[in-house]
Amino acid sequence: MVRKKMAVPVERVPVNVFKVFLASLTAFLILWFVPLLLGKYTDVTYPYIARKDIIYELVGLIGDAGKGIRWCPPISPYIEETVHLIDVEFDSLIEEELVKKYKIQPGGSWKPQECLSRYQVTIVVPYRNRSQQLRQFLTYMHPYLIRQQLDYRIVVVEQSNVTTFNRAKLFNIGFVESLKMATVDCFVFHDVDLLPQNDMNIYACTHHPRHMYSALDKFRYHLPYRNLFGGAIAVQRVHFSAVNGFANRYYGWGGEDDDFYSRIERKGLTIIRFDPQVALYVMLPHQSLPPSEDRFLHLNEGVSKSDDGLATLSYQLIEKKVLPLYTLILVSC
């Protein structure tokens, strides 16, 4: 007898819209955020200097090695090779506490006493009306720089409220006025709202101009475009002089960094960045200003007006003051 195969009715399972949405969202988050956590960036072709290839050595002539003081090691024994998780709302320390705890010298300077630092640097910070961020910056950066055994000074260049803010010109002024205080071979031009997250990102100059960050939380730890050269840069004195510094014509926000990148390129210099896991930064919250309407016009004029810079710098020095945590240069420009 032949058995007939019975057709088994299949019950149609209703689609759970919520589960489908949740699965899609999960897949999106995995595809989006996991690459960020693993260090994948927008421009994956950019030739970052890998962590294993970063060589820490002396660049330029510094200090007086004839006093019998030994050199500090290339990598300070006090640094913490971990990524610091920074609470952007952290409280700044009281000025007196910082000075006492870290033995910071007047004018925001410090150098190790037990050895001769291999890295001497002036950090120039343009500033106006951001007192909370400045306090946070000083609270965080002094211990950070001290752990690296740097010979450093923090110079804050404040622009008076008479004219529109000119970040590029303040960098030029900080460079010129700092050299009146001491001959320094290395400058870091640094915004007040950026904080580094890895101690291995040594605040010293390399043989080539260096963009200090390769990954910034504001850009979801991406590098938006490879010509980016703003926020924090380390440049040797000879290179900054060779390109005539920043252009002075950029009043308002935007354009001056791209202009400076072009100047570096035209001189045949190469921009470098460290591995994104080393050159990692957080941006402190602040109110963004509208971009300057003239920035593209100025950029187009960049080649024909390359004489605009240190050679044409003019400003009025209102006050130069040695404060406990930094040297203040107040100007009208």
Q: Tell me the per-residue pLDDT of 81-134, one tens digit each, with 9 for 90 and over.
A: 889 988 888 888 889 999 999 999 999 999 999 999 999 999 999 999 999 999
For the segment 58-63, the average pLDDT, to the nearest whole number, is 48
**Among 51-65, 99-113, 298-312, the range of highest mean pLDDT:** 99-113
Q: Which of 155, 169, 200, 92 has its CA nearest to residue 321?
A: 155
Mean pLDDT of the chain: 81
Give the tens place of pLDDT for each residue, 193-236: 999 999 999 999 999 999 999 889 887 787 777 788 889 999 99
Between 261 and 220, residue with greater pLDDT: 261
The whole-number pLDDT of residue 52 equals: 74
What CATH number matches the domain at 17-332, 3.40.50.20, 3.90.550.10, 3.90.180.10, 3.90.480.10?
3.90.550.10
pTM for this prediction: 0.80
Residue 160 · residue 332 · CB < 8 Å: yes
Give the CA distances from residue 124 to residues 89, 174, 194, in Å, rounded to whole numbers and listed in that order.
23, 6, 13
Beta-bridge mates of residue 291: 253
Residue 315 · residue 332 · CB < 8 Å: yes
The whole-number pLDDT of residue 227 equals: 81
The whole-number pLDDT of residue 5 equals: 37
